[in-house]
Structure formats: structure tokens, C-alpha cells
Amino acid sequence: MVLWTAGATCAAQGSGASGAPVLERTETPLERYQRESPALVNRPEADYLALAAFCREHRLVQQEATVLKRLLRANPEQAEARERLGFVRDGKKWIEAAELWRRETRERERAGEACYGEGWIPKAEAEARLKEDASALGWAPRLRLDTKEVRIFSAAEYPTARALAEAAAAMVPAYRAMDGAACPLKVPRSVRVCLFEDRKTWAAVYRKLIGEELPDYGGSCYHDLTDTVYICMDSLPALKTSDAGLAEVMVHEMVHALDEQALKGLALRPKWVEEGRAEYLGHGTWLRGIVPGAVMLEKTDGRGQALGDAILKVSLAELLDTDRETFYGEKMKFYYPLSWALVHFLLHGEDGRHAEAFRAFVCDTERGWSRDVFEARVAKLAEIEPGFKTYVRELFLPLVRASQGLERK
Ligand SMILES: [Zn+2]
């Protein structure tokens, strides 16, 4: 017998009178964090750092940040915590990297330069290039930042665009790693990210590109006939105040763009695969980098609650049978988080035993992605469903409850 567990040890010897092995439940990483975190008060710094390292190792990204912030409250000069939270040294003070960029921007602009393309160039040259890009885009961005695979045309402030460019740069290798080295699908080309400030401009560009009026829900949109991601910050007010939220949406839309390029539009994967993968890397966004498999549920994020309802109301069979229309129908709010959790489970759950088969399933354009193919290649749904539900209940739902508890305080 082989047992796959994520929170139990099997004591095969010295077992009960019947001679059957005794299964003892052990702590999950989240439970260990919840137990050790309150006990940190007045403990040495090394204990905080050790728990933060444990959180990182187990992809508890928010918890890692919480521990590091608590350490900084006790000792604002703690260098390792500062660096891991994105601060940089400025003489005697610590400042956020964004503040350093803001300062650089002011100095460069005073010196007659503008950031466009690969970096800072004379303003006149930047304006000439902006004109070229503006005619191609039908819209004039304020600045442009390039990484190897991503070009960001932005109406946003420099620090925001810069943070996004860094998240975008980290996203492409994380995207490749998600499918594994053996995936036969070609490495994608580049992606263009257009960031709009106001809905009016975005609506005009949309009309020009797509030939239709912008639909009401057209907040952030990836148009699949191009290699471009369009994000309108105005349509999603939460994004304007949070670089992390913006990075999450951008990474989500970039997954769609890269998927489209990898498949060359020849085949359409089911929505649970597409949205689940996009949510998987999007939720793994740690502002200036990507932590694949990270479990991040923001306090205000209704998707966590919807996930709790979803595992009660929607079976895996129903999810895998959704088509492109039903997926976005009235149960969309269940299908999104359930797809995310399922992709997460298949890549990491039960000690990762489904990961290779799932990757092979995702990368196979020949046999397609029906429920039958899934069951033949990865696992019978009836076999994985109980483990999946346990995974959701033990890994995700405690985070939802914890964050709701925090909110009420
Ligand atoms: Zn999506």
C-alpha cells in the first residue's frame, strides 16, 4: 500500500490491536505557522527569520511578509527583513525601492531625459519614438519599459510601471517552469502590455482594434488576435491603489497571451485549464517577482469565500465538463476559484504526484483536453476528488477564515 499525505504520518509498527497501520495526523505548514507565530513575541530575531524562511519554503507568501513586518516593528534596522520586503539602503535610511525610482525619475527628468524603450534617453529622442509607437498603438503612452520578453507601454507612474516590468520579467521563466522542461510547445515570443489610465482612451483603442464598442465588463482585456495585453486601471479601482493587485491582473492576462502564442491559436483548451493556470501564476505574484504555487488570499478577496462554497456545490466532473459559454455563466464565481485550486492541487498536492501527468496533459495538443482524456492521462476524478477537497479545506479555507478574522478586528 502506498499512502500519499500532506499532513499525516503513517505509523506502521506498534499499531492497534487489529494489526492495521495507524494513521496519525500531523501539522500542515499553515498550522505550524499559526502555532509558532503568536509565540514569537520577545523571541530572538533569528526565530522570526527562521519562521519567515519556513513560510517561504512552503509558499505562504502573505504569512512570510507578516512575520517580516512584525520583526521590523521590533527592530526597524533589521537588514535581512528590510531587503526581503523590498527596501533598499539610502545612506543611513531605508527606503522603499519605489521611492528610489521616484527620486531617479525626478533627477533624470531634470537632466532632460525620459524613460522610453530600454532606458533613459534624451527627451527629444523619446518623443520621436513615442510618436512612432503612438501611431502603431492608436494611443500615446507616457513611458515604455522593456524587458527581454515584455514591453510595457504605460500611462501609469514610473514606479508602478517599473514594478510591473520587474514582475513581467519574472513571469516568463515562471510560466515556462509551470509546464516543465519537457513541454513540446514552442517557447513564446514577446508580449506587449498596454496600461491605460482612463476608460475613455481604452474604449477608443478598443473600438479601433476590435471594431466594437467596449462591453461593460471590459475592464481588463486580452485581445487574442494580437500579442498584446490591455489593462485599464480605471475600470478596476482597486488596481489603482495597489501595485500588487495590478501585477496580479497583468500576470493573469500574460498567461493567456503566452498560452495563445504557444498554441498558435490552433487549439482551444478548456476554460478551467486556461483560467486555472492564469489564476495560479497571478495569485503567485509577489509584486517584484513570482512565487509559483504561492497561496495568497487578500483580505477583501471574495474568491476565497467563493471557493469554500464551490467545493460544496460543484463537482470536479461538472467543472471539467464546462464549455466556454457555461464557464462564464451564472456559476462563473465558483468556476474561477475552483479552477485555480485544481491547478494548484495538481501541481503541488499529495506531494506533487500528479504534477508530471498534469503537465503532459496540458502540453498535449494532439489528444485534446476532454474529461475522458484527463481521466486517462492524469487520474480518475472519483479517485482524486476526496484528496482535492481535503487539500482545499486544509490549505485554502483556513487562510480565508484567518483573513476574515483579521478584517473584523
Ligand atoms: Zn482570465
Domain residue spans in the chain? 26-85, 93-275, 295-409
Residue 256 CA to ligand 1 centre (angstroms): 7
Alpha carbon separation from 225 to 221, 222, 228 (Å, rounded) = 12, 9, 9
Coil, strand or helix at 358: helix
What are the start-end ranges of the H helices in 180-216? 199-210
CA distance 99 to 195: 21
Cell of 313: 456545490
Residue 396 CA to ligand 1 centre (angstroms): 20
Residue 336 CA to ligand 1 centre (angstroms): 9
CA distance 293 to 305: 19
Does 359 score more than 80 pLDDT?
yes
pLDDT tens digit string along 48-84?
Answer: 999 999 998 888 888 898 999 999 999 999 999 999 8
Residue 280 CA to ligand 1 centre (angstroms): 11
Q: Would you say 297 and 399 are in contact if contact means Cβ atoms under 8 Å apart? A: yes
Beta partners for residue 87, in sequence order: 96
Residue 53 CA to ligand 1 centre (angstroms): 31
Residue 211 CA to ligand 1 centre (angstroms): 22
Residue 146 CA to ligand 1 centre (angstroms): 24
Helix 355-363 with 332-352: angle, nearest 10 deg: 130
Alpha carbon separation from 214 to 135, 232, 236, 340, 372 (Å, rounded) = 21, 12, 15, 27, 37
Q: Would you say 362 and 347 are in contact if contact means Cβ atoms under 8 Å apart? A: no
Does 18 score more than 90 pLDDT?
no
Does 328 score more than 50 pLDDT?
yes
Cell of 239: 488596481
Residue 89 CA to ligand 1 centre (angstroms): 38
**This prediction's pTM:** 0.83
pLDDT tens digit string along 226-279?
Answer: 678 888 877 665 555 577 778 888 898 889 888 888 887 667 899 999 999 999
Residue 278 CA to ligand 1 centre (angstroms): 6
The answer to which of 65-79, 174-188, 372-386 has the lowest mean pLDDT is: 174-188
Residue 99 CA to ligand 1 centre (angstroms): 32
Residue 173 CA to ligand 1 centre (angstroms): 19
Residue 268 CA to ligand 1 centre (angstroms): 14
* Edge-to-edge strands, sheet with 191-196: 143-146, 150-154, 191-196, 228-232, 220-222
Q: Which of 180, 176, 297, 155 is nearest to 240 (CA)?
A: 155
CA distance 159 to 180: 32
Q: Would you say 264 and 225 are in contact if contact means Cβ atoms under 8 Å apart? A: no
Residue 142 CA to ligand 1 centre (angstroms): 26
Residue 37 CA to ligand 1 centre (angstroms): 35
Q: Would you say 282 and 249 are in contact if contact means Cβ atoms under 8 Å apart? A: yes
Residue 381 CA to ligand 1 centre (angstroms): 24
pLDDT tens digit string along 127-159?
Answer: 898 888 888 778 888 888 888 788 888 888 788
CA distance 68 to 65: 5
CATH 3.40.50.460 fits 93-275, yes or no: no
Residue 76 CA to ligand 1 centre (angstroms): 39
